[in-house]
Structure formats: C-alpha cells, structure tokens
Amino acid sequence: MDRKHEKRDGRRFDCRVRVRWSYYNRAESHAAEMLNYSLDGVAIAANQPLVNGSSVVMRLEADAGKCRPDCIESTECPWVRSMIIGQVKWCEPGPRAGASASGWKAGVRVYVR
C-alpha cells in the first residue's frame, strides 16, 4: 500500500512504550508497542494485523514519562495520551512488539485532538 497520502502532517515524537489495543466495543485486547506519536496519530508495532478502517481503543500500559517532546509546549507540541480512540489508516508487515521476529506495524489516526 502506498502510504504517501496517509502520512501525518505533524511532527512525530519517538515513544517506545507498551500499550493495549482493542477494536471499539470489543472485550478482547492485545499487547503492542507504541513507536511514535503526533498530534494526529500514533504508530504501533503489534503481534497481529489490525483491520484497515476499523475503530480501535488504545491505552498505555506503562508510564510514558520518558516520552517528553523536545519542543516548546504549545498546542502543536502534544503529550502522549493515556487513552486513544482512533481509526486504523494502514497496517503492514513490520517488527513484532518487543521482539525481533516479524509482526505488524500500524498507523492510527486519533478521532479527537
């Protein structure tokens, strides 16, 4: 999939922290690792593919205190959200969360800024 039209316009901030994600209104959740975030979205590494276009809920599993943006605080300098509701914009083979074996990498656009 050509993602050049799907890429976030905003600045991305590295943030390697454990998250749990689930499809919206579903009880089953899955472990993943946040790779980076911006004002509009996040990238994650997961052990299973996420369905493009689906709504997902993510929550941080660990303290994101080490994920501080290196910019002057303003509306364009976001902090890591502890809960995210968004739409899967892309999913492709990539690194497995917490391991070197192959897994999936996905981009999620947040619904609420």
Mean pLDDT of 58-73: 73
Beta bridge mates, 102: 95
Q: Which residue is listed with tokens 């922290």?
A: 17
Label residue 82 exposed, middle or buried (CB < 10 Å: 0-12, 13-18, 19+): exposed
Tell me what pLDDT residue 67 has. 72
What pTM value is reported for the model? 0.80
Tell me what pLDDT residue 102 has. 60
What is the architecture of the domain spanning 13-110? Beta Barrel (2.40)
Tell me what pLDDT residue 52 has. 97
Phi, psi of 80 (to 5 degrees): -65, 130
72 Cβ neighbours under 8 A, 6+ residues apart? none
Helix and strand numbers, DSSP H then E, in the chain: 0, 6
